Amino acid sequence: MNFRRLLGYNLLTAFVLGIVGFYVGWWLGHQFSGPSIAYFADTGQNDIALFLAYLVGLIGFLSGLGFASYPIQRLLGKPPSLREKETAGTGRYFTLCTDHKVVGMQYLIGIGAFIFVGGLNAMLIRFELLSPTKQTFNANNYLTIVGLHGTMMMGMMTSGILGPFANYFLPIMIGARRMAFPRIEALTFWLLMVAGVILMTTVGYGGFPTGWTGYAPLNDQANMGMDSYIVFFALVGLSMSLLGLNMIATVVTMRAPGMAWGRLPIFVWSVIATSVLMLLAAPVLISTLLMVALDRTAQTGFFNAQAGGSPYLYQNLFWIFGHPEVYILALPGMGILLEILPVFARKPLWGYRLAVTGMLGISLLSWLVWQHHLFVSGINADLRPFYMLSTELISLPTGFIFICALGTLWQGRIRFTVPMLFALAWLFNFLIGGLSGVFLSDVPSDVTTHGSFFSMAHFHYTIMGGLLFSFFAAIYFWVPKMTGYAINERFGKIHFWTMFIAFNSTFGPLLVIGFLGMPRRAVTYAGYLHGGNTWVSISAFFLGGSMLVFVGNFVWSQVFARVPVGANPWASKSIEWQLPSPVPVHNFDRIPTFGADPYPYGDGDGAGDSTAPRVVTAPARPRP
């Protein structure tokens, strides 16, 4: 072991500097507050100290990874450069590395770990709800667990598909060797990791009572654990915005010859639609959270009614971000679905233009619906019909996606591989999610279902049934390309069926229980709901168990069994499958030229179809 290597820019250095930074910030914060500045009164709860601790800790951590060196060099006038740590061995996974494939792998493991933590919290929730009265957690702790679960899931799953899969495959799909801004790409990942740790430290500061939405006035009254939520979500927002910026810039500027807009794989279009929302919605979130932070530290009155502010302002601002956010969670799943269906139905994607229109339409409309979250908050009743109609209008472009999916499947020669099963499950789950959503967008029925487990079950059908299922579809589909090793198919099928059945048996009944009056975010509930809740909890434990099947299978296949896959195990025509597995550091020997759309599947299509047009061609090798 070469100990000197431990001293450079790496995760270890980052942790040390991060912790040092944390305490430096904490100390600094205590210098500020106190009688010297009247309105920074120290009430025994020093929010400024905690904010500064997180901030300086973040700077320390990032510097330890090597993020500070380039900006400082630029300040001194060194010219721009692109790449850092791209060729070295395993060490590059634990530091700032600008290889988009490394970042993709980092995202997959990093985000996966935090989603697992979020899942453990879900198990705790369901454990508590086994009894209609309080059993293990008191109301405060229960709220914190719900908040931790929801916030962690929303924050991490936001980049759940773009992080690992778009970072890895989008440049390849458009024939590029890198993303437009490689350092920013790496930054988005490490920001998320710091954010995740920060959110978990909330437990040490008393947790937070607001759930993932952070509503006023609670967000102002809550104890210091609220600050963890604020910093977490602000960092997630920054990461999202930069991720979106990088994706759009890459598609606009980095396409290889022949890669016209009309030839972009549909997954790339879904990434564009998502990225526009990320780029523009996340800044609103950041602003809003900064206002909350000012309310908590400098005693401004943005959301404080006594001081002339308004809690409704918070609700508006939060959902101006929040509704685009839910489509940020939905759109990538649609992209995965439509990307996978042609491969396993052996047919071209049906209605490419319709699908693109649908995605961009969703992206646009999602800005115009936010007040459907405020129907029962006491908004002006005259505003309701507009938001109800605009919301229901979104089912139109969403319908386009379903039509394209069904059109692609129609008369296809379908192979029920594991990724295909997950993709098909998306169709089933998202349909239920969409139909239940209509009840929530409809003002008369929302009045009774708002704030109940019905709405909770609805969004689990869309997020978990939609996004998480497509996340797994993407894992089974693409990870063999990323690592070069197969994922065991038999255990994959066991994972799929247990997850699909347990998922529906958990959240299907919750739609009913919600309709019967089970409220969200409450640790106790009426006795007549006990039977249903017991059923749901047991199903949820099976659902958790199916995740263990996945984790076991994944680790076993990728670390121990290591069965190599060839370049193209699914007989796909898309360009990433024309490269070796795993993809070499330089992606392409020479930048390829694109000659057709990416889905030229035809009749009698086995592995290679000689009559189909060539998707990509490699330029001739130069003579030595």
Q: Which does 221 bind (CB under 5 to 8 A by kind): ligand HEM, Cu ion, another protein, none?
A: none
- With CB cut-offs between 5 and 8 Å by kind, which of another protein, Cu ion, ligand HEM, none does residue 305 bind? another protein
Q: Return the ∠ at Cα 576 (arms to 574 and 581), rounded to 5°.
A: 135
45 binds, among another protein, Cu ion, ligand HEM, none (CB under 5 to 8 A by kind): none
Q: Which is nearer to another protein, 41 or 561 (by Cβ)?
A: 41
Q: How far is the CB of 373 from Cu ion (least distance, A)?
A: 5
Would you say 189 and 103 are in contact if contact means Cβ atoms under 8 Å apart? yes
Instruction: Quote the CA–CA distance of 260 and 256 in Å, as a whole number.
Output: 9
| Whole-number Å distance between alpha carbons of 7 and 263 | 47
Measured from the CB of residue 79, what is the shortest distance to another protein in angstroms? 4
CA atoms of 463 and 60, how far apart (whole Å): 34
Distance of CA 232 to the CA centre of its chain: 14
Query: Are the C-beta atoms of 314 and 219 separated by less than 8 Å?
Result: yes
Is 257 a binder of another protein (CB under 8 A)? no
Residues 88-127 that bind another protein (CB under 8 A): 88, 96
CB-nearer residue toward another protein: 78 or 134: 78
* Cα 318 to chain centroid, rounded: 18
458 binds Cu ion (CB under 5 A): no
CA separation for the pair 49, 477 (Å, rounded): 46
Tell me which of 21, 25, 66, 598 binds another protein, using CB under 8 A. Answer: 66
Q: Binding another protein by CB under 8 A: which of 5, 16, 23, 83?
A: 83
Binding site for ligand HEM (CB under 6 A): 119, 122, 125-126, 146-147, 149-150, 153-154, 157, 211-213, 456, 460, 463-464, 468, 506, 520-521, 540, 543-544
Q: Is 43 exposed, middle or buried (0-12, 13-18, 19+ CB in 10 A)?
A: exposed
Count CA atoms closer than 13 A to 324's CA, side-chain side: 26
What are the respective helix, strand and coil percentages of the chain, to the nearest 5? 70, 0, 30
- For position 26 contacting another protein by CB under 8 A, the verdict is no
Q: Which stretch binds another protein (CB under 8 A): 137-145, 159-167, 311-319, 499-507?
A: 311-319
Q: Strand, helix or coil at 617?
A: strand
DSSP 237-256: HHHHHHHHHHHHHHHHH-PP
In the set 6, 34, 69, 563, which binds another protein (CB under 8 A)? 69
Kindly identify the residues of this chain, within the stretch 305-344, that bind Cu ion according to CB under 5 A.
323
364 lies in the binding site for another protein (CB under 8 A): no
If the CB atoms of residues 100 and 149 are measured against ligand HEM, the closer one turns out to be: 149
Helix (H, G, I), strand (E, B) or coil at 326: helix
Contact string (CB under 8 A) for another protein, positions 418-457, x = contact:
----------------------------------------
CB of 168 to ligand HEM, least distance (A): 21
- Give the nearer residue to another protein in terms of CB position, either 88 or 109: 88
Binding site for Cu ion (CB under 5 A): 323
